[in-house]
Structure 1
Amino acid sequence: MQRHLVIWIPPAARREPGFTFSEPSPPRNPHPLRKEDPDDNWCKTSQLYDHRDSAARHHDDDPGRREMTAARKRTRILAVAVTLAVGLTAAACGGSGDGEAGTPAAGQTLKMWTFKRSHADALNKAAAQFKSETGIAVTIEAVTPDDVFVSKVQGAAQTNGLPDVLELHAGGEDLEMGASGLLSDLAADVNDAWKQRLLPTTRETGVMTQQRIDIVANDSPFKQVKPGTRFSVPFTAGAFGIVYANKEKLKAAGLSADTPPKTWEEFLDALKATTAKDPKQGGLSLGLKTSQTGFNWIYQPMAHSYLGKEKFQALFAKGAAQGFGSPDGVKSLELYSRLTPYWMPGTTTLGIDEADIAFAQGKSAFDVGGTFTLAFLAQNGLSPDKVLTFPIPPPAEGQNKEISMSPLALTSLGITSTTKNREAALKWLDWVTSPKGAGVVAKSSLDLPATDLGAEAESLLGADLAALQKYFTGAPESAYDAADVTFFPSDYDQVKPGDVMVRLTPLKEATPEQTGTEMDKVMGAMWKSTQ
């Protein structure tokens, strides 16, 4: 049975992780992300279709499914709007509705819409530099929140008023709009050299694959799209499982504010020190009101590094011979349960944004989120130079001694099928996803680019942001890829294991052994449902 990848983008990246990747078919929901702009009401996901979209924004029983349902409704509405406006049945097969093409000329003006208000200033800075180099102007308009953005695109499609370029949710919204005829096919334009400068795990974002076509309903516009059609280019990227530490609290506890813990045990020692120094405000914050955050953002990367990829994936396997109740599984749960004394008071009552805000306000010494969390903390008054960042560290006795986080594309850029300035728009996409252009946007917005900046990262981004991007690279065996759900049951529901894990810690209602048994029952039920 095929699965959807749902990516969950956070509020910061969409700050409520939840936007919408939506392959018109129900997805699972994996890792909550976060809300991005204060007026961004939709969640974004970044973890798998089901997970990606499902990431679940937060709070309700299954926010991921709710988001996907809403996303599918928006897709249907959009498809109708486009059909009425342009009759683009053929355009859905590959962008045949492209506007006039030609050599871009100085003096042209492009229009670009983004759903991310936090990107507007950064894009304007990039546009000014782009104009100085090419003579082509780019007018940026931020349209928020998400539902307003979608409505505006819908209305513009009906009146032939679409802009030249759109920034969209990657791996979902871009495909939906492309299949509905709004976006041009960029497959012939994005050559190997362009793709090679992108982070490897983001390169095929925006490309319609045969798998995506096969899993949708027969009446989906995806069925009319040729495999290999590219509707967008990845623009920003991020990863989960990033720890933020308050440097002042580290210093107060006698710890280094510049050297992150190298192992899980050193991380626990640091938590012990900050909690001893300040029992009320020295602990760890995380939005466990969305129960799967602990399971997805802390336990899974830690267990992956402890067990290694093969044994980690075996935890979720059908039959569970090497499942959570096995000796290895129980040991990984015991390691995770060692966080119990150090949670911030009331953490199970906090949503993702609330936990991040609490950290920004000094109510905890550590916070766990994603790379996208940095921008949200800055929006809430905590300067990037005041925090030490590092990925969930590997246990000392684990299989992998280092860990890296495979990035997910969060947003992407597409060229509308009705543009009359296609060549100029391509030039803009090429420039803004180059190291120079991507660096300008990232440094101002604090959102990491999907462009691999390599050795140029620190000079282009500054030390604080570059410190985050370095965690995207590492030995293949030590890379934790949150988007890989090929080993999950197709009806995987991340909320169920998340609820079980909260009973283990911080609630202390179950032992690691009891938790392992319960987790295997949960996985077994989902595999049975899959059959």
Structure 2
Amino acid sequence: MNLHRRGTTAMITMALASLLVAACGTSPDGSRSGGGGSQTTLQIWDFSAEQVKFHKDVAAQFNKEHPNIKVEWRSITQADYMKTLPLAFQSNQAPDMFYWNATGLAQLMDQKWIRPLSPDGTVPADFTKRWPDGSFLEGINMQDGKTYGFPFSENLYWGSGYMFLNKEVFQQAGLDVNNPPKTWTDLKNACAQIKSKTKAECIAAPTKGVDMQRIWFGLISSVSTDEFFDFKTGKFDLTEPSQVKTFGFIQELKKAGYLAPGTNDKNFSRQQFAANQAGIFFDGTWMPSVWASQGFSSDKYVVAPRVDPDEGRTGAAGRGYDDNKYWVSSQTKNADAAWTFIQWMTDPDGYFVQQYYKNAFGTLSYVDNQKMVSDPALKQIMKIGGAPGYRVQLPVPLLKCPDIAKSKAYVNAMARNPEGEWEAMSEALVSGQSLATTGAAIVKQRQAALEEELKKEAAAGLKVSMDCYTFPDWEYTKDYTSDMYKG
């Protein structure tokens, strides 16, 4: 996301400023309004619109158990959130805790947005044992021995790359929803039948900005890697043959009229699917709760694996260590209250967890998901995601080169035109050009930035190089295991 975008109109700026004042709830002297003497007000921000009621219930229950702490949990639309949160930090009005997964630990620390989870920076063993071994790593959620983050969503089932089929549309088209398309050709054949026999669109595929990731991740993950960087070759890969071929297939679908027309965002496309106006939608683990909030229950659709190229699956979705999503703000004056809430929130048997699963919001990293998940759609997602080779552990440069924890080269390379890949895709989809052509500039820019910065850091004494980012022995369909790292 571009956190430094300029040229915002005065009207938008004023609206965001008003939102900040309303959200921050400060008293005339600038202190947090606690609403009652010694009561501390803990402000948490995110952009999960479908979880508003859940968060309200969570806040009420936490306050019941901790009367001296009042939680104000606010959700802002995602597009506004990506602008509002940086503005809040710039104006020294940031919340006490916030949700953020657009960048990782290194950039958050560089921006001075975060502080350790606990007041003194250390966390007890009875906290970290809630997670699988290896969940807390220097450079991922720890820095200089202090813990800054914790894995929230688990990384086997959670993520994009699932195909949702609308039962009513499939029935109208004379298709068997329990025999879903398995290959690219199957998908085109199903679309042809939906287009000829129903009034519905075949695929509700948002193509507006980053929302294009829905269909992109639903296809590319079966071809190579769902990252814009290939850890096998050590190169930004948008213009590589596998990526170009996959995007070419999306262009084929569009040309044939199998993608819903218009440049739509994810919300429009989701509603289109839920209104039986489209037969197929590609997205992630979070969708059962999104559709439930729209009154579209899981008995009205089926979850299927993503489709593979006709020649068979040659790639997999990646599993990483980047599921640290809730952070404590560097501007908080309520570090003790934040730490109390985090421990309560991550209690595997606590209220937050029980209600999270009751509402089918997804899968958590500190919980036995096989035991807790009851929603049939989520159960199917777990069955699909847990199949061997559907998601694989990505190589981690940090585990190969510990000094990567101090490097800013990759973060800075990704910060160059953050939405560049999606802009290249949008241009190619509109113009009909090859992705190899529209994506060339962003790939060249990122690769040069990464290599040049690594050379500077190495000259300054860090043990880093392009070798840290290159794993030639990795196969896209297999986990890169700990024994494969060279010491």
With over 3 angstroms needed to count, the CA separation of the structure-2 counterparts of 1:363 and 1:393, relative to structure 1, is: same
Residue 491 (structure 1) shift:
5.4
1:67-216 correspondence to structure 2 within 5 Å: 113-116=43-46, 118-123=50-55, 140-145=71-76, 147=84, 166=97, 168-169=99-100, 184-185=118-119, 188-189=122-123, 191=125, 194-195=127-128, 197-198=130-131, 209=142
Structure 1 201/474 Cα, relative in aligned 2: closer, same or farther at 3 Å? farther
1:467 matches 2:380:
yes
Q: 1:441: how far off?
A: 1.7
Matched, 1:242 2:162: yes
Partner of 2:207: 288
Alignment partners' CA distance in 1, 2:215 and 2:365: 23
What residue is the counterpart of 2:261 in the other structure? 346
Counterpart secondary structure, 1:305? coil
Give the conservation status (yes or no) of the 8 Å contact 2:217–2:226: no
Using the TM superposition, give the Cα deviation of residue 308 of structure 1 relative to its aligned residue in structure 2, in angstroms: 6.2
Q: Which residue of 2 aligns with 1:92?
A: none
Distance 2:444 2:132 in 1: 35
Q: 1:330-369 to 2 correspondence within 5 Å? A: 330-340=244-254, 341-347=256-262, 349-369=263-283
Partner of 1:267: 187
Asked if the contact 2:173/2:197 (under 8 Å) is kept, the reply is yes
Distance 1:338 1:208, change over 3 A: same
Structure 1 residues 427 and 471, CA gap change in structure 2 (3 angstroms): same
**What residue number does 2:355 align with?**
440
CA contact (8 A) 1:317 1:487 kept: no
1:428 equivalent to 2:360? Answer: no
* C-alpha distance in 2 between matches for 1:482 and 1:246: 36
Who is 1:93 aligned against?
none
CA distance in 2, matches of 1:205, 1:450: 18
How far residue 358 of structure 1 moved from its aligned partner, in angstroms, is 2.3
Q: Is structure 2 residue 222 aligned with structure 1 residue 305? A: yes
Tell me, what secondary structure is at the counterpart of 2:326? strand
Structure 1 residue 339, shift from structure 2 partner: 2.1
Percent identity over the alignment is 15
- When residues 346 and 424 of structure 1 are mapped into structure 2, their CA distance, relative to the original with a 3 A threshold, is closer
SS in 2 for 1:365: strand
Q: How does 1:400-411 map to 2 (within 5 A)?
A: 400=314, 409=323, 411=325
- 8 Å CA contact 1:241, 1:391 repeated in 2: yes
1:383 to 294, 297, 311: 297
Task: Provide the rounded CA distance (Å) in 2 between the counterparts of 1:469 and 1:452.
Answer: 14
Displacement after TM superposition at 1:271 (Å): 2.5
Rounded to whole Å, the distance in 2 between the matches of 1:323 and 1:235 is 29
Conserved? CA contact 1:306–1:397, under 8 Å: no
Task: Give the secondary structure class of the aligned counterpart of 2:146.
Answer: coil
Counterpart in the other structure of 1:509: 432
Unaligned runs of 5+ in 1: 1-28, 30-49, 87-107, 211-226
Q: Is this contact kept in 1: 2:218–2:306, CA < 8 A?
A: yes
Deviation at 1:463, TM superposition (A): 1.5
Change (3 A) 1:331 1:527: same
Instruction: Tell me, in whole angstroms, the C-alpha distance in 2 between the residues paired with 1:183 and 1:398.
Output: 45
**Shift in Å at residue 269 of structure 1?**
3.1
Name the CA shift for 1:277/1:167 in 2 (closer, same or farther; >3 Å): same
Q: What do the CA deviations read for 1:423-473 (whole angstroms, capped 9, x no partner)? A: 864652342x458852422322634434343421434xx222333345554
Q: Distance in 2 between matches of 1:173 and 1:330?
A: 28
Taking a change above 3 Å as real, the CA distance of residues 477 and 378 of structure 1, as seen in their structure-2 partners, is closer
| 1:228 corresponds to | 145
**Kept after mapping to 2: 8 A contact 1:166/1:413:** yes
* Separation in structure 2 between the aligned mates of residue 473 and residue 126 of structure 1, nearest angstrom: 30
Find out whether 1:370 has 2:301 as its counterpart.
Answer: no
Q: Distance in 2 between matches of 1:203 and 1:523?
A: 32
User: Do the aligned partners of 1:242 and 1:392 also contact (CA within 8 Å) in 2?
Assistant: yes
Work out the CA distance in 2 between the residues paired with 1:468 and 1:313. Answer: 26
Length, aligned pairs only: 403
Asked if the contact 2:288/2:377 (under 8 Å) is kept, the reply is no
Q: CA deviation at 1:121?
A: 3.7
Where do 5+ consecutive residues of structure 2 fail to align? 33-37, 398-408, 453-487
Describe the shift of the 1:401–1:426 C-alpha distance in structure 2 as closer, same or farther (beyond 3 A): closer
CA-CA distance at 1:527 after TM superposition? 3.3
Alpha-carbon distance in structure 1 between the residues aligned to 2:298 and 2:349: 24
Equivalents in 1 of 2:51, 2:227: separation in Å? Answer: 39
Aligned counterpart for 2:308 among listed residues 379, 388, 394: 394
- Alignment of structure 1 residues 474-489 onto 2, 5 Å: 474-475=387-388, 478-479=391-392, 489=413
- The one-character-per-residue Cα deviations of 1:175-223 (angstroms, maximum 9, x if unpaired) are 57986669634863353x754654789756996555xxxxxxxxxxxxx
1:133-166 CA-to-partner distances (Å, cap 9, x unmatched) read: xx666855333435599969x9999xxxx9xx84
CA deviation after TM superposition for structure 1 residue 111, in Å: 6.4
CA RMSD of aligned residues (A): 5.4
- Displacement of 1:249: 0.9
C-alpha distance in 2, partners of 1:374/1:310?
25
- For the pair 1:458 / 2:368, whether they are aligned, the reply is no
In 1: Cα distance, 2:388 partner to 2:410 partner: 21
Aligned in 2, Cα 1:282/1:397: closer, same or farther, shift over 3 Å?
Answer: same
The answer to whether the Cα contact below 8 Å between 1:201 and 1:406 also exists between their aligned partners in 2 is: no
Cα distance in 1 for residues equivalent to 2:130 and 2:60: 23
Amino acid at match of 2:378: L
CA contact (8 A) 1:405 1:473 kept: no
- The offset of 1:251, in angstroms, is 1.9
Asked if the contact 1:239–1:406 (Cα under 8 Å) also holds between the matched residues in 2, the reply is: no
Aligned partner of residue 314 in structure 2, secondary structure: coil
User: Closer, same or farther in 2 for the Cα pair 1:516/1:386, shift >3 Å?
Assistant: same
- SS for the counterpart of 1:306 is coil
Could you say if the C-alpha distance between residues 411 and 110 of structure 1 is closer, same or farther in structure 2, counting changes exceeding 3 Å?
Answer: farther
Q: Secondary structure at the match of 1:367?
A: strand
Using the TM superposition, give the Cα deviation of residue 377 of structure 1 relative to its aligned residue in structure 2, in angstroms. Answer: 2.9
